[in-house]
Structure 1
Amino acid sequence: MNSQPLRIVHCLRSPIGGTIRHIHDLAKAQAAAGHEVGLVCDSSTGSAFDLSILDRLRPHLALGVTRFAMRRHLTVQDIIAAARLYGSVRALAPDVLHGHGAKGGAYVRLIGSLLRGRKRRPVRVYSPHGGSLHYDPNRCEGRIYHAIERLQNRFTDGLLFVADYEKAAYESKIGPLTVPSRVVYNGLLSEDFEPVAPHANAADFVYVGMLRQLKGTDLFIDAIYDLTLQTGRKISAIIAGEGPQREEFEARAAQLGLADCITFTGALPARRAFAMGRCVVVPSRAEAMPYVVLEAIGSGMPIVATRVGGIPEIFGVHADRLVDSGSSSRLASAMRAVMASPERARAQTAEVRQSIMSTFTAPRMGELVISFYHQLLGIPAVTSTEATSSLAQSASLLARSSKQGS
């Protein structure tokens, strides 16, 4: 436990995908370390699966969960909503306001700035998680959002990035860093390193994630079609996820004659979805530090992923195995290589898995984030043994799974 417990409030717009997984693990680690944690998020979004993650987190949140309607894009109504939220956040007397994503970051910096004149002065921390950094700086929408980010930068006390790529993108699109910053990788729990065995009737490939063009769901469908033509046989696939373009992608699969080849399951726990396929495919056009890639590698699943965002940082010296984004034909070629030699694909995953066990762990993530809060607050950090324990558990799991493999 840290010598000086903190009152921490996390804020994000939509409690979905990798961001809610990140906050779930981070908030639980902070609560376990003796800090009081709360969450503010949108009340109108989130699949049943995403909301189940939120429900599991609630018992660990001493400062509770505050939910209200947040629109995706910034509007004048956000100022009214922030004014209403201000009283609730003020009553929590936070030491740290941590915003996740563009909208969460906007609320944190506005409300945090209004609280600066009070006795308790919370530090305002912002984690982009991709967000506005995914916008093209040469397009009108990108120029607007990046200008807003630059304006808000002066009301920010610290920046936390989940990848070196994300930090570089911020410097390139928003401007030079003028406040303290740190890169803290997303981390896995010890159980995430347990091997997953595909079901006997598993599909050839599985996609797990949001159903959005940004995530390359359309490229995955087109790659399945390409493989069907190339091999002359039915290629089976699972698409596990929800998103605003689900109907569009279902129509695309039907149009290509793949309705009986591709099964849309809705959102599922990652490891459950992994077992439904023999290879995980991550065809994203843009990413920050995707949990699905970490989870797939941790589980030992063969994986085909694109060279975007922080994914090369996960693969490290093995990054040459990644696929250039935006092309279904290149994706199909990599997927066909896995079909031709599945054992080789599993062996390659095992190599990457061993390298991430000491770096991408949830206890390490939690400890580094708390020490950053302490830095901003001017509080000497207290080192815990939790991260060391996690590494020992991961090493034990690796040794056990290696024996199983032999």
Structure 2
Amino acid sequence: MRILHVFRTPVGGLFRHVMDLARGQSERGHDVGIICDATTGGARADAALASLEASLSLSVRRVAMGRLPGVGDLATIRTVARHVRHLRPDVVHGHGAKGGLFARLAASRKPGGPARVYTPHGGSFHYGPAHPAHHLYMAVERYLARRTDLFIFESGFVREEFHRYLGPSGQLEKVVHNGLTEAEFAPLSRPSPAFDLLFIGELRTLKGIDILLDAIALLRASGQPVPRLLIVGAGPDEAAFRAQIVKLGLSDTVTMRPPSPIRHVLPEARAMVVPSRAESLPYVILEAAAAGQPLIATRVGGIPEIFGPAASRLVAPADVPALAAAITQTLGDANRALADAEALRDYVHASFSVSLMVDGILLGYDEIRAR
């Protein structure tokens, strides 16, 4: 097959997903290409795409793609459409809200045109009915659903959200979980960690970092041991979190660092915390689980699907006392935390692999092309 992947920003879990998928499809003998934003990602994205491009027979094309809806989207759609006509792919696969928009509007609906595939990565569905943008985003998703041949959801949660707001699509739908490479299950060396807790990810209120800081402040106020927290990442709400740290008097126990590969920083902490208010199927949890890292996480999005039989250990989102209690329990019983982490590692190893992900998506392509 000739396969073209379209997405906006080359950062984060979505970028990781497309990179793994494109590489796996190319290794299976397919002709694969990528088109994504030229204005984001920085040097790390440039280097990652350059390393992948040599194995992609349909190459990598970068064009300007705006994050928010705007008139510039029209020019981007025309550019993507020209690229599609030039490459003549069998499949155009859009990822995320903006990638899905560009892919499905750029692909011809005429007989003989490419199969139009869409993978939501949670973005449009993170905004509930109370959010001003919700109805606009759902109207766009409803219109684009009529231009979609195959929906591939990365979690059962996102499919349920899709059905909740839009109803069944009437098209072929598949749930194919994200996966990890075998190398990511290699054990980590664990010297004496300098920190008790680690948060790694984008610094946004959606990620619940404010709840985590409040939980640590609650532990201090109640006279319990105050965990040392390392926050690794960058994002639009970084200044607000720094101000909160000062306001809560936590400057002596919280350290903030710029983004770093997760396996570089996991050994520095006894446990990792994912206090998110909303998620899809976060790679950060898969990667930490594969490394055997003790985890404290909230019961949101597809996280219960990752935890499987251990989902009862998850914490309600935005619940400061519950998160504080989970931190105390995890740090207070190191042997139990490590045993739970090893059991979760075994479950993730059996259920979430790149090979399973690539094969599942290719089977979806085959089925829709046969139709």
Within the candidate set 10, 24, 35, 1:15 is matched to 10
Matched with 1:108 is: 103
**Equivalence for 1:60:** 55
User: Which residue of 221, 231, 235 corresponds with 1:243?
Assistant: 235
Q: Distance in 1 between matches of 2:87 and 2:163?
A: 33
Instruction: Mark the CA change 1:61 to 1:259 in structure 2 (over 3 Å): closer, same or farther.
Output: farther
Instruction: Map 1:75-114 onto structure 2 (within 5 A).
Output: 75-112=70-107
Q: Aligned to 1:296, which of 277, 288, 298?
A: 288
Q: Once the 2 structures are TM-superposed, how far is the Cα of residue 210 of structure 1 from its aligned partner?
A: 1.2
After TM superposition, list the pairs within 5 Å mapping 1:353-372 onto structure 2: 353-372=345-364
Partner of 2:315: 323
What's the offset of the Cα at 1:32? 0.5
Could you tell me how far apart the structure 2 residues matched to 1:339 and 1:166 are? 32
Q: For residue 224 of structure 1, what is the aligned residue in structure 2? A: 216
Q: TM-score, normalised by structure 2?
A: 0.95
1:35 partnered with 2:27: no
Return the alpha-carbon distance in structure 2 between the equivalents of residues 24 and 254 of structure 1. 39
What is the deviation of 1:50? 4.8
After the TM superposition, list the runs of 4 or more consecutive aligned residues in structure 1 that deviate by more than 4 angstroms. 47-52, 231-234
What SS does structure 1 have at the residue aligned with 2:270? coil
Alignment partner, residue 332 of structure 2: 340
Any gaps of 5 or more consecutive residues in structure 2? none
Which has the higher mean CA deviation after the structures are superposed, 224-233 or 28-37?
Answer: 224-233
AA at the equivalent of 1:337:
Q
Whether 1:117 and 2:110 are equivalent positions in the alignment is yes
Task: Determine the C-alpha separation between the residues in 1 that align with 2:296 and 2:155.
Answer: 20
Equivalents in 2 of 1:191, 1:283: separation in Å?
27
The reply to whether residue 193 of structure 1 matches residue 185 of structure 2 is yes
Code of the aligned partner of 2:109 = R
Distance 1:182 1:143 in 2: 25
Count of residues in correspondence between the two structures:
371
> Distance in 2 between the 1:236 and 1:122 partners?
52
The worse-fitting range, judged by mean Cα deviation, of 230-239 and 241-250 is 230-239
- Using a 3 Å threshold, how does the CA distance of structure 1 residues 146 and 306 change in structure 2: closer, same or farther? same
State which of 20, 31, 36 in structure 2 corresponds to 1:25: 20
Q: Does the C-alpha gap of structure 1 residues 93 and 143 become closer, same or farther in structure 2, counting only changes over 3 Å?
A: same
For 1:14 and 1:74, how far apart are their aligned partners in 2?
14
Distance in 2 (alpha carbons) for counterparts of 1:241 and 1:46: 14
Report the identity percentage. 40
SS at match of 1:198: coil
Instruction: Kindly provide the amino acid, as one letter, of the partner of residue 124 in structure 1.
Output: R
CA-atom RMSD, angstroms?
Answer: 1.8
Q: 1:333 to 1:53 in 2, by over 3 A?
A: farther
Give matches, 1:142-291, under 5 Å.
142-231=134-223, 233-291=225-283
1:383 is matched with which residue? Answer: none
What is the deviation of 1:232?
Answer: 5.3
State the alpha-carbon separation in 1 of the partners of residues 304 and 37 from structure 2: 32
The alpha-carbon distance between structure 1 residues 90 and 154, as it changes in their structure 2 partners (threshold 3 A), is same
